[in-house]
Amino acid sequence: MKAAATLSPPASGMPIRTVNHSKGYFCTMPENARLQSLLQEDEHQFMEALFKTYFPLVCKSIYRLIPDMATAEDLAQEVFIKIWNRREQLNEVYFKAYLHRAAVNMALDHIDKHKRRGGPHLEIGPTQEELPGPAPVVHLKETKAKIQQAINQLPEKCREVFVLSRYEEMSYKEIAQALQISVKTVENQMITALKKLRVSLKEYLE
């Protein structure tokens, strides 16, 4: 796969999918205007405001693809360093969407490099068959941890597709572009992910 590391903002014609919770892209428009005016006035203050507003968002997007907080933080830092180095070209940028895409690209690129170097694989841990049986009492927090675990155990491409669709709110077309695969493959991987998750999470279903 070609590294998807370029920090390019989503093309202006690309539809930004509305987010289904209250903090949608739309509601934060005044925030963007504020950041843009700060960028003109004082780039250090701009950077501080941008960082403090969006660092968690960037970090969490990366974490969902690379479930290790220390690595996610390192990569999130790199995202903001790239932004800082390009601060003179950000005049038209819609920051939230831009940072989100940069975070996803940074994570995918990291996974890619990791693979090429033959480093430790991300999908460690027992396979689905080896997963322990259902616990007698299931707490909500444990459920979430189990679901994360199940997602992390999906095959790499499958997991990327699922996470990008489920949590990064990306359309199949956007995912296909980011991963350099066809929309058809994205759809196939999506169903594969759901089938595998249904098996590994069967104790929580029905």
Partner 1 sequence: MFNNDHIDALIAREIAGGLTAAEKAELEAWLQEAPANRAYYEAMRQTWDLTANAYDNMPEPDIASNWERFQEKMTAPSPLRVVVKRRNTWRLAAAAIVVIAVAGLVFTLLRQNSSTTVVTADNDKKEITLPDGSRVFLNRNSEIRYDEGFASKHRTLKLKGEAFFDVQPNADHPFTVDAGTSHTKVLGTSFVIKAYENKPVQLRVVTGTVAFSGSRHTQDALVLSAGSGAILQHDKAPQAVKEADPNFLAWKENHLVFNHVPLYKTLHTLEDYFNVKFVVADSSLLNIDFYASGFDNPRLQEVLNVIMVAANVKITEERKGVYTVSR
- The interface region with partner 1, picked from 6-14, 54-62, 113-121, 124-132 by CB under 8 A, is 54-62
How big is the CA angle at 145 (ends 139 and 149), to the nearest 5 degrees?
140
| Among the listed residues 127, 25, 24, 106, the one whose alpha carbon sits nearest the alpha carbon of residue 64 | 106
Interface positions, 162-191, toward partner 1 (CB under 8 A): 165-167, 171-172, 184, 187-188, 190-191
Per CB under 8 A, 95 contacts partner 1? no
Sign of torsion over alpha carbons 195, 104, 35, 49 = positive
Q: How far is the CB of 119 from partner 1 (least distance, A)?
A: 11
Nearer to partner 1, 27 or 145 (CB): 145
Tokens of 192: 């594969």
- The interface region with partner 1, picked from 4-12, 97-105, 117-125, 160-168 by CB under 8 A, is 160-168
Give the separation between CA 58 and CA 82, rounded to whole angstroms.
13
Give the separation between CA 65 and CA 132, rounded to whole angstroms.
24
Of positions 1, 3, 36, 77, contacts partner 1 by CB under 8 A: 77
Per CB under 8 A, 109 contacts partner 1? no
Sign of torsion over alpha carbons 185, 190, 191, 192 = positive
Helix axes 156-166, 183-200, angle to 10 degrees: 90
Nearer to partner 1, 11 or 70 (CB): 70
Q: Which residues bind partner 1 (CB under 8 A)?
A: 44-45, 47-49, 51-52, 55-56, 59-60, 63-64, 69-78, 80-81, 84-85, 141, 144-145, 147-148, 151, 165-167, 171-172, 184, 187-188, 190-191, 194-195, 197-198, 201, 204-206
